[in-house]
Each structure stands twice: as structure tokens, then as C-alpha cells.
Chains A and B, each alone.
Chain A
Amino acid sequence: MAEAIQKKLQLELEKYQQMQKDVSKSMSARQKLEAQVTENNIVKEELDLLDTQNTVYKLIGPVLVKQDLEEAKATVAKRLEYINGEIQRYEMLLKDMEKKSEQHREVLSSLQQEYQRAQGRAVGKV
């Protein structure tokens, strides 16, 4: 009886740990995205400071490719939107993961209690 509970406990524990890893992965991804948002904001602002006389280049691999200022601005704006959307998505994901990990936690604690009770009973019997 106790062994069965122990096995269950182990399984749950592993699942919970997996969940935690996923959560932390999502969190770090989200943080990266936040960094990118800040960066792109700065780029946008600086592009606004320039005028059409300046040539804008984009680094694609080893090549600097000339770009139009307006085009560049548009591209940067689109990228910003995209990143924000990604951040939202990750946030939703994180929330769900949190809820799931909470449930797992509860299951774990109840299993633990059962296990302890079983242990106590076993000791009592002996």
C-alpha cells in the first residue's frame, strides 16, 4: 500500500518538476522578448530623429543592405507589434502553466499526506 503510494508520489513529483522547468523556460523566453521590445523602441525613436537624407542600412548576414528610411520605420514598427503579440502569448501560456502547477502541487501534497498516513499505519501495525 505504501509502496504504491510512493510510486504515485514519484510520478507526480516528476511531472511537477517538468512543469516547473517549462514555466521557467517560458519565463526566460518572455524576458528575452521584453529586451527586444526595449531595443526596438529605441531604434524606432532614433529613426524618428533622422531625416530622409541619411541612408539606412540593414545588416543581413555579412552584408549591409541599403534601406529606405520609411521602409525601415515600417519594418521596425511591424517587428514591435509582432514582439508584443508574442509577449501576450507567452503570458497566457505562463498563466496556464501556473494554474496547472498549482493543481499538481495540491495533488502532490495530498499524496504526501496519504503516504505519511500509510507509513504511520505500517509502523503502528508493526
Chain B
Amino acid sequence: MFRKCQCQLLDVDIWNVVPFTFSCFLFNSSSMRTCQTSRKLPCSDCVVKGCEDQIQHWKNVKGDYEVLEDRLKTLPDKVSYDIMVPFGPLAFMPGKLVHTNEITVLLGDNWFAKCSAKQAQMLVEHRKKHVQSALDDLHKTKKNFEARVGFTEDLEKLSDGKGGYVDIREELEGVVCKGKRRVSLKPHSKPKTEAIVKMEEEEEEEMLNAEGSKRGVLSEEELWARLDELEAQEQQEEELDRRFDSADTNGNDDTTSSSSEEEKDEEGDRPAERSKGGTTMPLNGSQVDRTALPPRDGGKEEQEDDEEDDGLPTIHFSHTVEPKKVRINTGKNTTLKFSEMKEQKQQAKRKKNNGTSNGHSHHGLHITSPTDIYRLFVDVKNGEPVPRKSILKSRSRENSVCSDTSESSAADFEERRTLGRSPSHDDNTYSDTGSAITEEDAPTGELPVPTSRFQAFSGTVVEKEPIPLSVPQLTIAPPALPTIPERKLEEVVPEAPQEAPQEAPKRVSKFKAARLQHKGP
């Protein structure tokens, strides 16, 4: 036995130990996985570190294999080598390395194979492939988690008040929409532009920048408490706003959710919930435009950046109810001063109802909901106030929309236009007054707008026909209607204005009739 051992000592067989490390690694990576799964909030930081450790480990293994390969290449050069053989942990003894071409390779799981040096080389190559693939996987996961870590760093920067993030706050004081909540008859109708609701929904999708206004200040427990509060709030609001199918918000969700999702995952959905408290209004153009015209009561006041206690420069933002000078292009190149005429009539009606008469109008703009807008922004045609079609609904908005003189809306105007265009046929279900229109209205109503589809301006100013608000029946057949009139438009543009006026006098909706009756007596 002793001789055999000696022989064994002399025949230095190379035992490849790597397969064991394979299994070690696999076990480690799986334990990493358990670390992740057992915790609710994955520690992306520790995952990244774990990845780095593993990567380092595999790099070492790769290096070892490369050294081994070199050795295997040179080993068969001589029949025997004179070497110092390790003799226990502390001593060496002179010996010879023989059978230089016979390599016993550990294949794994207690299997060995005797091969030549060249065959051993092949096996080493094969294993290096495995190592490489493991390394690649690790790199990928590391990248993914590094992205997450980046988000947390951004958040920290934000809460520290550096990094150029500006907090925009708007205090909403009792601005509750008194207007009637409209039922969305269509599943994908564009939701009514309720400022508060929209803002709250928007905030869900806010980018990290605009979010987290107060987050930096509160501790985690407070945040969770706040989260609970907001959830309760949200539930209440949801009951009210159930009908507001957020088609648009869903669209936005898709685009921004991927980016904000990770933050949400990290924060445990805190941002989404908290921001629903509705105190920050984002000035992200793409999202603000959804508020469109009506909800902006008077002017917008933008105040200068303030330095807040929580370290973030903030812009305070509030709605004021000052009478806005609004130019209304009716297509005839006339500009109606905002609601003067209609206001008069309204006041007169009120006074009559109250039993007194008052001739002058006071510019008490009582706009608390889009209903009021539609009531006030009226064309006077043939001596009768004919309510305008909703700006959200019709495609002819570019001709007839009230152009804000306030600066901030100028940027949004473009987006509003494009927005209003696409789902316009869907919006027709909305109606404050519930007035119904005949089906003839829609084509003419939509005719003027689609010019922009094909070119910016067709060159003809098509007078917008003041038609009542909604086209409920029409929207049921969406595909046909929008396209066909558009195609017709090119040919029919000159004819349209002629058609419309003729049709207008005939069309009096029953609601309008009722209204007129009201006014009469």
C-alpha cells in the first residue's frame, strides 16, 4: 500500500476541483434568490453586491482554467519532470513527475476519467464555456439591479434638495367639482377633464422628479401611516370617480409605469398612493394638457421658487378666480369677449327668476365646472344663444376654441388640439345639459377639423357650426364616422359651410327648446 501511495505521489494526477465549485456557486446563487424572495422589499443594493462577489468568483475560476490550459499544453513536452513534491502541509521532497500525458479528470459527481493532455484540454474548453455563460448572466442581473439602485440614489438626491429637482406644489382649497359627474357610456371615452381628479391620476404616473414632495421629511413609519390615510381617501374618491375610466391614464401608465414601476416596487407603492393626496400638480406638459381648458378657472398664478424646509425648491401654484380675458374665435373673425353676452342673459334669467330685472351684466364668472363653461361660452346665432359643441368632442376645435391669453396655456394648446382630435368622436357622449343632437350634426361638426390630419391648414376657413354638445347615437359606430367624413372633407370642404348654415336652423334639440322655453316666460 505504501508503495502504491508513493507511486501515487510520484504520479501526480491532476484533480480538477472545479465541478465542486460549480455546485457551490449554484447553491449560493439560489440562496441569494431566497434572500430576495423572503423579503418584501428586495434589497437591490445587496443583490448588486452579491452579483459582484459572484462575478469575482467566476473570474477567478476562469483564470484558474486558463492557467490549467497552459499547463496542459506544456506538460507533455517532457517524458518526466524533476519537481519538489509537497509532503504534507509543511514540507517538500524531491521527486519526479511521470506519465505526463495521463490526466485523470474529475468530471463531477464522483466520476473520473483518464485522458490525454489534449483531451483534458478539450474538457477545460468545454468548462470555460459554462463559466462564461454564468458570468454573462451575472453581468446582466447586475446591470438590472444597478438601474434600481440608481433610482434610489435619485430619490435620495431629490429629498436632499440637490440635483436640480424642483417641487411644484399647488394647494387645493375646497375646490370640489360641483358639476354633475358624467357617466362614461363608452368604455374608452376620454374622461372628463376634472382638474382634481386628473391631477390625482396624473400623479400616479409622475416621474420621480415631480413626486415625493414631502417624502424627504417624513420617516418611514409616518409614510406608511400617510399611505393608509391616502388609501382611505382614494377609496372615497374612487367611489365618486368610478366612472372616470382612465383610458388616457392607462395609456400613460404603460409608458411611464415601466420607469416608475421600479420605484414603486421599491417604495412599496408609496409614491403612487401618497401623491394621490393631490397636493402636487405636475407641470409636465404631456400630462397637464389633459386638463384642457375648462377647469382652469381664472388665471394661473405661478410664484417664484421658494425654498422649502424640506430642502426642495418649490414653485407654488394656485388657481385664482380672476376673470380671464379670453378671446373666442368664432370663425367669423369675431371675438366674443368672454361670456359677456351669455353672462348677461344668465344674469337676466336669474334676476327674472328672482323677480327683479337687471340690465347690466356683472362679470361674476361662476365657473366651477365645465358645465358652466359650456353655458357661458356660447355663440349667438340668429339672436339665440346656441351652445357650443364641447371642445373635447369636436374636431373643429382649432377653429372655434377659446384661445387663452394666459401664457401657460399656449404650450398646452398644441397638445390639447392633438389630444382632442383623436378621441373626439368618443367624447360625444358627454353632455352637461344632456342635449341630444341629430346625426347630421356630427359629420359637419367633424369636417373642419380633419384638415389638420392631412396638412396643417387647408387654406379654407371653415366656419364652425355651432351645434349642440353631444352626439350620443353617433359614437356607437366609431370606425366609420371619423374616417369617412375626413375623406369627404377634401372634396366637400367648400360645400360644408354652405350645408351647415342651412341645416342649423332646422336642428333644435329638445333640450335647447326647453331652455328657450325657460327663458321665454
Contact = CB atoms under 8 A, between A and B. Distances in A.
A50 B109 contact: no
B110 interface: yes
Interface string A44-79: 011101100011111110001001000010001001
B177 interface: no
B112 interface: yes
Nearest to A40: B109
A114 interface: no
Given A55-B113, A56-B113, A49 B127 contact: no
Contacts of B19: 39, 42-43
B107 interface: yes
A49 B126 contact: yes
B107 A59 contact: no
Nearest to A49: B122
A62 to B, nearest CB: 11
B113 A57 contact: yes
Nearest to B123: A46
A76 B19 CA distance: 15
Interface string B112-124: 1111000100110
A36 B109 contact: yes
The 7 closest A-B pairs by CB, nearest first: A31-B30, A35-B26, A57-B112, A59-B110, A43-B108, A35-B23, A43-B107
B111 interface: yes
Contacts of B115: 50, 54
Interface in B97-138: 104-105, 107-115, 119, 122-123, 126-127, 130
A121 B122 CA distance: 77
A64 B115 CA distance: 15
B219 interface: no
Contacts of A67: 111
A28 B32 CA distance: 11
B34 A24 contact: yes
B110 A58 contact: yes
B119 A54 contact: yes
Contacts of B112: 56-59, 64
A47 B107 contact: yes
Contacts of A50: 113, 115, 119
Contacts of A64: 112
A43 B108 CA distance: 6
B165 interface: no
A28 B34 contact: yes
Contact of B34 (A27, A34, A45): A27
A100 interface: no
Which one of A24, A40, A45, A79 has the greatest number of beta carbons of chain B within 10 Å?
A45
A109 interface: no
A50 B107 CA distance: 11
B113 A36 contact: no
Contacts of B23: 35-36, 38-39
A46 B104 CA distance: 13
Contacts of A76: 109, 111
Contacts of B126: 45-46, 49
Interface residues of B, number: 27
A95 interface: no
B508 to A, nearest CB: 60
A89 interface: no
Given A40-B109, A46-B107, A79-B109, A54 B26 contact: no
A61 to B, nearest CB: 10
B413 interface: no
A38 B34 contact: no
B27 interface: yes
Interface string B30-51: 1101100010000000000000
A38 B109 CA distance: 11
A39 B25 CA distance: 11
Interface in B1-55: 19, 22-23, 26-27, 30-31, 33-34, 38
Nearest to B30: A31
Contacts of A34: 26, 30
A15 interface: no
Contact of A43 (B27, B30, B109): B109
A113 B114 CA distance: 68
A72 B34 CA distance: 34
Nearest to B114: A55
Contacts of A28: 30, 34
7 contacts: A27-B34, A34-B30, A36-B23, A39-B19, A46-B107, A47-B113, A50-B113
Interface string A14-45: 00000000001001100110111011101101
Contacts of A79: 109
A105 to B, nearest CB: 14
Contacts of B104: 57
Contacts of B31: 31
A32 B104 CA distance: 27
A59 to B, nearest CB: 4
Contacts of B111: 43, 47, 56-59, 67, 72, 76
B54 to A, nearest CB: 14
A49 B38 CA distance: 41
Contacts of A27: 34
Contacts of A24: 34, 38
